[in-house]
Amino acid sequence: MNSTSLVQRARASIARWISGPTVQKRRLQAAALDRLTAAWTATEQSINQDLRSDLNRTRARGRDLAINNDYAVKFVGMVRNNIIGPSGIRLQARVEDAPNKPDRLANSAIEAAWADWSAGCDITGRQSLRDLCETLVGSLPSDGEFLVRLVRGADAANKYGIALQVVDVDRIDTTFNRAASGSSNAVIMGVEVNNYRRPVALHLFAGHPNDGAGSDRKRIRLDINDTLHKFKMERAEQMRGIPWMAPGMISLHHLANFKLSALLAAEHGANHYGFFTTPDGQSPIGADDAGTTIATTQPGTYDTLPAGSGFVPHESKYPNEVFGPFVKTTLQRIASGWRVAYHSLANDLEGVSYSSIRSGSLEERDRWSADQQWFIEVFMEPVFRAWLQQSLLMGAITMPNGSALPAAKATKFARHDWQPRRWDWVDPKGDMEAKILAVKAGLMAPQDLSAAMGYDFDDTITAIAAAQSLAAELGVQLTAYDPTPGAVKTPGANAL
């Protein structure tokens, strides 16, 4: 063994003995600073600081994608269809005269009045409540937030005394920021807040800041009690919404450019077979003075090259075998960022099995159910409370005999449920049989099963009774409602 090596090892041993045992420190590898992470820059600034500089541009790019990019259009449609659905989020009044004794007349009156108001709740008269809700959630992928103003009194122009005005979030002055001083509240990106960071007002442009002749940058202050400015909170003290498509927008933009380039390359390759070349670089025989090649190729013939000319074939690289997998991998990444199933976003059912599509669909439906509940809490609930209060004061909710529901009993009339859209099962027969077994085993109430299917149990029972009554009147037997053997107590049977 080398003597120098022995000396070095001895010195190292003595140094370790003098310094004592080595202390191993635990570290977060994600925070390591080395040559592999040198390009990974991150700051500790607040979410509001990030949004101050990036929100308007991100929203503009998101809107561009939502109009011009096919996958973004599909995602916007998925948001609208799954959160709102074809019938919208339906109101089910639950007024009771006593516990478990529904006041059916009041319930019918409230639901009928709500349906009547919903048909013309938009202050512009252009949208029903379902269409207005679809507009609001359809803006979330590109905008991340929505703004609705509650218009009360005579300006509402209806007998209920309340209407809804959808306001473009472009009108919130993102550039207006000020610190709190004296009696003035702080303003963060157009949102005025008190000392607890609770919003108290919005600062809007009187008109859209970029609307041609209709542009108006005069700023007005709108009390927060008259508005519904809603978005999903991602971090504490966040004042503006983050566009839902933000995580995948860069990937989607580059994917679109890549596909366009590949398409043009494939088209060019299909149109060009090759090039004639000559030793001196002059145009070959068969070309005009400008050098434009004159095509001589005809189907079923062999061409002859001009004297002294050579031929260089043109071969396009697209489409090739890696094009499809690359696009698929990119879309899978985008779908993950948008929290939807890849096969739904890309319309790709190739190679999808029952178990995989079921797993992806169920996970995605959990996301949509959570989004439905969020939208109900931030929009449907405050709108219904404001509508009920104003409508009772106006005497606009009437019973079949024409008498109005009294405003003094507003608390009684406020009980209600919401019925959002629901989805068909991936395996309808198997899943339905499982639900029926759960009801029979006492693990699930029929009301819960009906709600899971998107129906109101009271309405369902009433409709079944009406169908049986009509069938009996006409002498028709509805076999679907024949009792199952053993399900009905036979006469004379002993009670358990």
Query: What are the pLDDT digits (tens) for 309-327?
Result: 676 666 667 677 788 888 9
- The dihedral built from the CA positions of residue 486, 487, 492 and 495, taken in this order, carries a sign that is positive
pLDDT surpassing 60 at residue 346? yes
Residue type, 246: A
Is pLDDT larger for residue 199 or for residue 478? 199
Instruction: Report the distance separating Cα 165 and Cα 222, nearest Å.
Output: 13
Q: What are the E-state strand segments in 256-309?
A: 274-277
Distance of CA 411 to the CA centre of its chain: 34
8 Å CB contact between 453 and 422: yes
- Output helix, strand, coil percentages for the chain, rounded to the nearest 5: 45, 15, 40
What burial class does residue 105 get, using C-beta atoms within 10 Å of its C-beta: 0-12 exposed, 13-18 middle, 19+ buried?
middle
Residue 496's pLDDT is 39
For 268-392, where are the E strands, in sequence order?
274-277, 310-313
In tens, the pLDDT along 2-37 reads: 666 766 776 767 766 666 665 566 678 888 888 888
76-124 residue pLDDT tens:
999 999 999 999 999 999 999 998 899 999 999 999 999 999 999 999 9
CA-CA distance, 209 to 68, in Å (whole number)?
Answer: 23
The tens digit of pLDDT for each residue in 378-418 reads 999 999 999 999 999 999 999 989 999 999 999 999 999 99
CB–CB of 237/197 below 8 Å? yes
Q: How confident is the model at residue 444 (pLDDT cuts 50, 70, 90)?
A: confident
Which residues is 201 bridged to in the sheet? 192, 223
In tens, the pLDDT along 456-487 reads 777 777 778 777 777 777 888 877 777 665 44
| 213-242: average pLDDT | 93
Alpha carbon of residue 379 to chain centroid: 15
